[in-house]
Copies of this chain bind each other. A is one copy, B any other.
């Protein structure tokens, strides 16, 4: 048994520490793994993707995720069981949905907004401390999911929609999902989905970067800035400073600059549209 924790709380304040303290009080011997607390403030989609990417490497346990712009509203807090036996705990705003899709779906769910495990009085703004941490710790200590809240039809849970990359002949239109600390930008397409695009490992690729949302709808797409990259296996295949298209550690295509910062150099930010063409 393990508890994992992913939030947008950052490390400046005591939010993470207080959640740890609450969990330690209830489940003193369960290891807690901090997946990250560096999700962009209110970055529900970023949190959902990072959780989905990380979970295959995390032992089965109770997995808490908190990115919660609607805290204090009527949005539900939920705890649920996935098909592969994990428990997920967090706000019902789509944050957990990409994870459960890759963990066998939802087999049981409860609304924990008024959980018997919550700390009273529940504050309007810190449900991590008052609801999510104590519920997760009780589950990790052996409590039944059904006792943690009110039964909820899994079909009522919020699901997150991601953009979809399009593969055409001679062109792939993808979107930036994440940009990491090193400036490497992950796209919403995997190597396996490139068939028919004409993109070939070892060959040059033209990367056109369009602003977030630019050129959508029925009109002609806005032209973006263009860069020449190499579609390669590792950074070592190109010179320092060169742009590389590669399969990243979560098996998604990504754009990087060898020893540089692609996010800054190519102005890649989440939701930017990236058109890839063989050269």
Q: Tell which of A15-23, A210-218, A269-277 binds the partner.
A: A15-23
A10 B181 Cβ-Cβ under 8 A = yes
Q: Tell which of A32-40, A78-86, A168-176 binds the partner.
A: A32-40
A124 B234 Cβ-Cβ under 8 A = yes
Name A125's contact: one of B73, B125, B249 (CB within 8 Å): B249
* Interface presence of A72 (CB below 8 A): yes
Q: In the complex, how many residues of chain A place their beta carbon closer than 8 angstroms to a beta carbon of chain B?
A: 58
Q: Tell which of A50-58, A93-101, A152-160, A219-227 binds the partner.
A: A50-58
**A30: min CB distance to chain B, Å:** 10
Question: Assuming the A-B contacts A14-B53, A38-B11, A181-B12, are A24 and B33 also in contact, with contact meaning beta carbons closer than 8 angstroms in the complex?
Answer: yes
A24 contact set on B, CB distance < 8 A: 2, 31, 33, 58-59
Question: Assuming the A-B contacts A33-B21, A69-B259, are A180 and B54 also in contact, with contact meaning beta carbons closer than 8 angstroms in the complex?
Answer: no
User: What are 16 A-B contacts defined by CB distance under 8 Å?
Assistant: A2-B28, A6-B17, A10-B181, A12-B38, A13-B36, A21-B57, A24-B33, A24-B59, A28-B59, A41-B181, A57-B129, A72-B236, A73-B235, A73-B236, A124-B246, A124-B249
The 3 closest A-B pairs by CB, nearest first: A72-B234, A126-B249, A73-B236
> Contact residues of A with B, CB < 8 Å?
2, 4, 6, 9-14, 16-18, 20-22, 24-25, 28, 31, 33-38, 41-42, 50, 53-54, 57-59, 69-74, 123-126, 129-130, 180-182, 184, 233-236, 246-249, 259
